[in-house]
Structure 1
Amino acid sequence: MDIQLKRGLLDVCVLAAIKQEDSYGYKIIKDMKPYVELSESTLYPILRRLEAAQLLSVHSAEHNGRLRKYYHITEQGQKRLEDFKAEWNEIVSIYNFVTREDENNA
């Protein structure tokens, strides 16, 4: 898969993973696992990029005597998810166009 396309999809997946409630790294990976395989070395650069783009915010809270970073989707992050849903219709249309020969030859 094209690296830029995959990067954009993973960004949206991370936003979707935290849209219902604030979450932390390990839980984000665990929640995404049934759908997308994601390692810590992939997740944390995504989280930093999303924070820099103001699509999520970060706060720390103590958990079992240690500080844990929690990620919260911002209003801009919510808008990015909505934009993605609208864009997805165009992606499906392109996919249908590309695979139309396959259906005709089946």
Structure 2
Amino acid sequence: MSMQLSKELTDGIVLAFLAEQDLYGYVLTKSVQEVFAVSESTMYPVLRRIKAKGWVTTYDEPFEGRNRRYYSITKEGRAALQDLQMDWHDFSARVEHILGDEDGK
């Protein structure tokens, strides 16, 4: 089964990857794609949105005659990630209570 990810959940997933290390767009997209089916056309609007919120900053590093744009989580981004994690834990506990698993019913 495939489910749509909400904007908030997608933001949280991206922030969680960036909390581990700074990443450039391509690697970040591939990292997220290893876990969820998202396209590049989805990822870049997410990155623009969380940058506009002040949750990430960017910097460029030269690579083979071009620049790679890296994304780095900010202090505000870490606080937002904590909030999103708390919301996720609450939400997932409620869903688990409603849907349960076969052994729990």
What RMSD over aligned residues (CA atoms) do the two structures have, in Å?
Answer: 1.9
- Structure 1: unaligned runs, 5 residues or longer: none
Q: What is the CA deviation profile of residues 27-68 of structure 1, one whole-angstrom value per residue up to 9, with x for unaligned ones? A: 001212221122110010000000000000011121111011
**Structure 1 residues 60, 95: closer, same or farther in 2, change over 3 A?**
same
CA distance in 1, matches of 2:67, 2:28: 17
State the Cα distance separating 1:100 from its structure 2 match: 4.9
CA distance in 2, matches of 1:15, 1:85: 10
TM-score (norm 1): 0.84
Task: State the match for 1:51 in structure 2.
Answer: 51
- Structure 2: unaligned runs, 5 residues or longer: none
Instruction: Tell me the secondary structure at the aligned position of residue 11 of structure 2.
Output: helix
CA distance in 2, matches of 1:71, 1:92: 28
Assess if the C-alpha contact under 8 Å between 2:12 and 2:84 holds in 1. Answer: yes
Assess if the C-alpha contact under 8 Å between 2:57 and 2:74 holds in 1. Answer: yes
Aligned length: 102
CA distance in 1, matches of 2:63, 2:15: 23
CA distance in 2, matches of 1:96, 1:21: 31
CA distance in 1, matches of 2:100, 2:70: 44
Instruction: Tell me the secondary structure at the aligned position of residue 38 of structure 1.
Output: coil
Instruction: Tell me the secondary structure at the aligned position of residue 82 of structure 1.
Output: helix
**Percent of residue pairs identical:** 32
Task: State the match for 1:23 in structure 2.
Answer: 23
TM-score (norm 2): 0.84
